[in-house]
Amino acid sequence: MPDGINYIDLDARTGQLTKYGMPSGGDGQIAIANTAGGTLVGELAQLLDFGGATTFTTAVAQITYDIYGRIRQVTPPDNFYYSSWETTATAGQTLFTPTARGAGYITGQDLIFRNGVLLDATEYTETNTTFTLASGAALNDQIVCISFRAISSGIYYESLNIVYASGSGTATITYTGTPYQDIVAGDIITFANTGSPTQYTVSSANLTAKTITFTGATAGLTVGASIYRYRAASASYRVFSRFTATLTAASSYTPTIWAFNSGFELPYLNGTAVNDQDYDLVGNALTNFPATTTGNLTIIQFAPSNSSAAIGSQSSTSTNTIVGQSIYSFNYNPAYFELYNNGALQVAGSDYTTGTGSYTLSVTPTSNLNLLQQQTFNGNGAA
């Protein structure tokens, strides 16, 4: 190179001085390419392969992103199954066999109605395939059995709204708080919801005494630890818990051994559905009844799915009948539809017929005072 002359190398860079880095585990890798014009081009390395298109759309319960904005995991929603079976009873009939339910159906996960009124759990006994009324039906009684079933799409830790209090090192522990769901034998309980927490199988539970007894001794529990119910992938689980109370001239009701999970509850009073216009849920109190109430209060409280919403994502609205109008609009799926008239369950085919976005009452209303409670679920098939 002659003295006093400087040269600039304008040749295309080969990239030998360009480096890329990535954090441990390989996440966030950036691929670098050089153009002939000296431009550096960087792009995120492809993480997911959808088998063709560069985007993917689906109904999901949960999406996991990484810090680079990329989707790392898509968890599909739990499957919810629902079926309604109706029959006309013969005189004195007690034994009924609803349509066969699928594998994984859990005994007791059904609602049984006689002439539109929900039966109390003391008014019948059941097996996985039949139910028997404590007193025989009358001729032409309308019997309806609505069955539910759920399958977990992946591992899930259901928060029970209670925390550990005492008993570590023994099989029986105490807790504080009031659970959203009943706790029964066979449930798997953990005291953490991350990593691989120790699992304990329930032998029995006493919600009044706030105790849970396991099949073996506990160990290393920390006071104040949240308590979860573990659901394995592809496991069947209970869709609802059923709580009952006897009311006498009551204007409100506050449970003491369990807690309302707002939006998950479906109340019945003396077997008739209570619509959303006839109560408010304030904290843990069912209140603002239109009048003092006496009788049997039944709360059907749905369990959370893996999206933390009520399994089945039920939607319910109420409307008054209109004199002379038999057709009413409602966005619903006929396979997962319930209609109550002044709290009494209506029977498809005899009380109404279904359509697309509407239903037709068999008897044209002559009053504006009847309240129609319309309810539908999101389902994956018959229970």
CB 109 within 8 A of CB 145: no
- Sequence-distant (≥ 6) Cβ neighbours of residue 196 within 8 angstroms: none
Beta bridge partners of 310: 304
What integer pLDDT is reported at residue 44 of this predicted model?
Answer: 63
Domain limits, the chain:
1-76, 79-151+236-383, 156-231
Say how far apart CA 205 and CA 143 lie, in whole Å: 33
DSSP-based three-state secondary structure for 122 = helix
What integer pLDDT is reported at residue 60 of this predicted model?
Answer: 62
Cα dihedral value 146, 256, 213, 302, nearest 10: 30
Q: Write out 262-279 in H/E/C secondary structure.
A: CCCEEEEECCEECCCCCC
What integer pLDDT is reported at residue 22 of this predicted model?
Answer: 47
Of 208, 308, 230, whose CA–CA distance to 264 is shortest? 308
Residues of the chain with pLDDT under 70: 1-62, 64-74
What integer pLDDT is reported at residue 66 of this predicted model?
Answer: 65
What integer pLDDT is reported at residue 75 of this predicted model?
Answer: 72
Structure-block tokens of residue 289: 């009844």
Of 199, 158, 147, 149, whose CA–CA distance to 305 is shortest? 158
CB 256 within 8 A of CB 223: no
What integer pLDDT is reported at residue 20 of this predicted model?
Answer: 46
* Residue 139 DSSP one-character state: T
Of 281, 259, 280, 279, whose CA–CA distance to 269 is shortest? 279
- Sequence-distant (≥ 6) Cβ neighbours of residue 363 within 8 angstroms: 326, 351
DSSP-based three-state secondary structure for 123 = helix
pLDDT in tens, 264-302: 999 999 999 999 889 999 999 999 999 999 999 999 999
- What is 79-151+236-383's CATH topology? Jelly Rolls (2.60.120)
- Sequence-distant (≥ 6) Cβ neighbours of residue 151 within 8 angstroms: 78, 79, 81, 104, 234, 235, 236, 237
Beta bridge partners of 151: 79, 236
> The whole model's pTM is what?
0.82
The dihedral sign for the CA sequence 149, 336, 272, 142: negative
Q: Which CATH class is domain 156-231?
A: mainly beta
Strands (E), 40-178: 40-44, 62-65, 71-75, 79-88, 95-96, 110-114, 117-118, 124-126, 131-133, 142-151, 156-166, 172-177
Same fold, 79-151+236-383 and 156-231: no
What integer pLDDT is reported at residue 351 of this predicted model?
Answer: 97
- Sequence-distant (≥ 6) Cβ neighbours of residue 16 within 8 angstroms: none
